[in-house]
Structure 1
Amino acid sequence: MRAHASVLHLDLDAFFAAVEQRDKPSLRGKPVVVGGVGGRGVVSTASYEARVYGVRSAMSTREARSRCPHAAFLSGRFHAYRDASHAVMSLLRSVSPLVEPLSLDEAFVDLERADLPDLEVPTVTAFAEELRGRVTEATRGLTASVGVGTSKFIAKVASDLDKPDGLVVVPPGTEQELLRPMHVSVIPGVGPATVERLRRAGIHTVAELESVDLDELVRLVGKAHGSGLFHLARALDDRPVVAEREAKSVSVEGTYDTDLTDRRLMEALLTRQAGEVAGRLRKHGLSGRTVTIKVRLHDFTTLSRSTTLASPTDSSATVARLARTLLADLDTSGGVRLLGVGVSGLADWVQEDLFGEAEAEEELPAIEIPHHSRRTWAPGMDVVHTDHGRGWVWGSGRGVVTVRFETAESPAGPVRSFAEDDPALSAWVPPPLPGEDPEDPEDPEEPLVEPPTPE
């Protein structure tokens, strides 16, 4: 364990919703929900104004609408979230070479590598407070909650204690005093299933968990999980801040301007993506056992299916065949806006077919995505009109699209309606980030809006 509170955890507050409120002046101070806007959609992020009404992440959009019908329900804009995240991560890397991003909106920072005169509590507190201000400046108004502690676990817990826009520094030696009154769900990896197992054993708080010996915890939740709980209940966490993580998967995905409905076209796209994934595996001398497909439906609901082989492969044909099989189990009749293929369970070897029956490599199909005259206008998307300038989609339907013309730098703007096929109205394409190839279709940081994987 560290002798000083030198691990900082930064978490941008209600990130997706906050970016929307920043860029849409008419939504500032009002409830905003980002995620799937259709009947089967789920909430990715809710603004704090929406949370007052009980709206939360991973809730169905249908329930969120019933709780807060006057909220703005937006489908999300990845480019805006990516740009804000890039600004924050660049800032963090400028203060310490050891920054471990966890997602677009949160990261650990090792302050032992920062340029600080010492690591005493007053010094790191002042540094963290200044850093929060610099984040707001770099993101043009977003706020962050920050926690600082002697470990990743404590820093993460601390950042949740004074949300939004707060700072908590946990002095060394006070970690257990902080944790003991808290519910066991504060511990990473303790989800609903583990909470229920512990509840049945009469364990509700961290203090009660601390009183249970290791053998009993292993009996309750298994060896690996039990050992982790035993140590974290005692605030024992020596995990380092790691700037570069070893790749756990290789994936390729594509988002399409018009919803795909042709099953054969989807299979061809998955086959081509499988070929790209397998090519990357071979390039790096890797193989993998688990093949996963990701399918985002027309209403922004995101589905995934996976299957695991007995031994690792780097075969394009094998990955493609499994991807197409997984697609067959999904209902895509309403249209698909994103397809992706990934391989995980990586290894640096390939099990040769002992019987000489390896699948022949497939020739990648020629693909032409059909052009549809009807354009898709998703709520919240950025648009530009030749006469009125930039704005965002307020709503659309029955051949009409309604746009509010405003940007982050303007006051709340006027609302105008147009025919969906009005040639003067088009999607606004943001400029590439510095050093980014605008022709590169790969987006490795595509945020997910589906519920977190159940425990």
Structure 2
Amino acid sequence: MENVILHVDMDAFFASVEQRDNPDLRGKPVIVGGVSERGVVSTCSYEARKFGVHSAMPMFMAREKCPNGIYVSGRYGKYTKVSQDVFKILNGVTPLVEQVSIDEGFLDLSQGKFRDGMEAARYIKNRVFREVELTLSIGISYNKFLAKLASDWNKPNGIKEIKKEMLPDILMPLPISKIHGLGKVSVAKLNNMGIYFIRDLYRMPKEFYTEYLGKNGTEIYDRIRGIDNRKVEIVRERKSVGKEKTLRSDTKNKEELLEYIKEFSFEIEEVLSRKNISGKTVTLKFKTKDFENHSRSKTLNNYIGTHSEIFKVAEELLECEDLKEEVRLIGVSISSFKETEVQQLSLL
């Protein structure tokens, strides 16, 4: 039996939570993130996107594009709680759920109550809308690459299924930026060669992929032919818990980078709380625009697990860095775990 994989992606997640909780914001351009001029956009509503605002955009640029927007400081603790509510629903559909980030995940329907992808997708959308009062978009296919591609097809509040018989025709008109695994540098490099769409890349011999795209070349060759053998993975034992993100625009502005670190700290706290663990080694990771990797760690004498504690250590690590080159990727993780002890209060 062919795999049925779902990719679930919340629609403008942070902004949608703000609009849900404050009816006055509904239908208006809402921009969530660091509200200072040196801050960065975490998420924006679809109304704001019409003005050209997008996540990872510097806040001053967002204000120029959308001067009448409503700018909201992120409530990451709230978003984490809502994320838990959504993933509780997903885990009720199948035990094979891979949480990719706070607002997206993959489901493998080879186990659980559904075998039909469209039926499962409608069930998830109805329950999330009824119980959490938010919309999401779902892609359905037989592998992760195509499922993720499909979830972005009819956003917001969409469902799209990509079947094997649709290939390769359905992929041919898409820009190469849609291919998972192709970064900005590779896309620009291929564009300079006159390769803009998947149909252009599809015509190239296999040797071209490895020569110009390096070690990922073979995977890219397979993906645009509908082949992706990655499994939906449930990580049961983790040596570290972390989050990282490749930025839309390279920067060495520490205020912007701290906005990401703050967001990561809340997501890490949510995972630690769910697994009832705490850690004492915090690691800051960043990659410069010339693809040099750097990491800095600090091991504490005590175990920590709250977002404020994680953020404080990561902030100290970043402040010690002299960023000579712009950063293209930033990440934070925590390790050296122990199970969190539940303290009982004495009545005396």
- Relative to the length of structure 1, the TM-score reads 0.56
Contact 2:41 2:54 in 1 (8 A): yes
Using a 3 Å threshold, how does the CA distance of structure 1 residues 36 and 330 change in structure 2: closer, same or farther? farther
Using a 3 Å threshold, how does the CA distance of structure 1 residues 59 and 322 change in structure 2: closer, same or farther? closer
Using a 3 Å threshold, how does the CA distance of structure 1 residues 226 and 69 change in structure 2: closer, same or farther? same
Contact 2:12 2:43 in 1 (8 A): yes
Partner of 2:83: 85
Aligned counterpart in structure 1 of residue 173 of structure 2, from 181, 188, 202:
181
> The residue matched to 2:195 in structure 1 has which SS?
coil
Could you list the runs of 5+ residues in structure 1 that have no partner in the other structure?
253-279, 295-304, 332-339, 347-435, 440-455
Partner of 1:227: 218
Aligned counterpart in structure 1 of residue 95 of structure 2, from 86, 94, 97:
97
Amino acid at match of 1:40: R
1:190 aligns with 2:189: no
1:131 aligns with 2:149: no
> The residue matched to 2:87 in structure 1 has which SS?
helix
Deviates more, 1:206-215 or 1:17-26: 206-215
1:329 aligns with 2:327: no
Deviations 1:1-52 (A, max 9, x none): x735x10011110000000000111111111000111111111101011111
1:162 aligns with 2:160: no
Contact 2:138 2:159 in 1 (8 A): yes
* Aligned-CA RMSD value: 3.6
> The residue matched to 2:9 in structure 1 has which SS?
strand
> The residue matched to 1:177 in structure 2 has which SS?
coil
Amino acid at match of 1:128: A
Task: Provide the rounded CA distance (Å) in 2 between the counterparts of 1:50 and 1:328.
Answer: 36
Alignment of 1:50-449 (within 5 A): 50-116=48-114, 119=115, 123-139=116-132, 141-222=133-214, 224-244=215-235, 247=238, 249=240, 291-292=283-284, 307-308=294-295, 327-329=319-321, 342=333
Q: How many aligned residue pairs are there?
A: 284
Task: Provide the rounded CA distance (Å) in 1 between the counterparts of 2:231 and 2:84.
Answer: 23
> Identity percentage over the alignment?
37
Task: Report the alpha carbon displacement of residue 173 of structure 1 after superposing the two structures with TM.
Answer: 2.4
Higher helix share: 2
Task: Report the alpha carbon displacement of residue 126 of structure 1 after superposing the two structures with TM.
Answer: 2.6
Task: Report the alpha carbon displacement of residue 235 of structure 1 after superposing the two structures with TM.
Answer: 1.4
Using a 3 Å threshold, how does the CA distance of structure 1 residues 226 and 26 change in structure 2: closer, same or farther? same
> The residue matched to 1:181 in structure 2 has which SS?
coil
Contact 1:306 1:326 in 2 (8 A): no
Could you list the runs of 5+ residues in structure 2 that have no partner in the other structure?
244-271, 287-291, 302-312, 324-330, 344-348
Using a 3 Å threshold, how does the CA distance of structure 1 residues 287 and 64 change in structure 2: closer, same or farther? closer
Using a 3 Å threshold, how does the CA distance of structure 1 residues 246 and 437 change in structure 2: closer, same or farther? closer
> The residue matched to 1:176 in structure 2 has which SS?
coil
Deviating above 2 A after TM superposition, structure 1's stretches of 4 or more consecutive aligned residues are 245-252, 305-309, 313-317, 321-331, 340-344, 436-439
Task: Report the alpha carbon displacement of residue 246 of structure 1 after superposing the two structures with TM.
Answer: 5.7
Which of these two proteins has the greater Rg computed from alpha carbons? 1
Task: Provide the rounded CA distance (Å) in 1 between the counterparts of 2:315 and 2:123.
Answer: 48
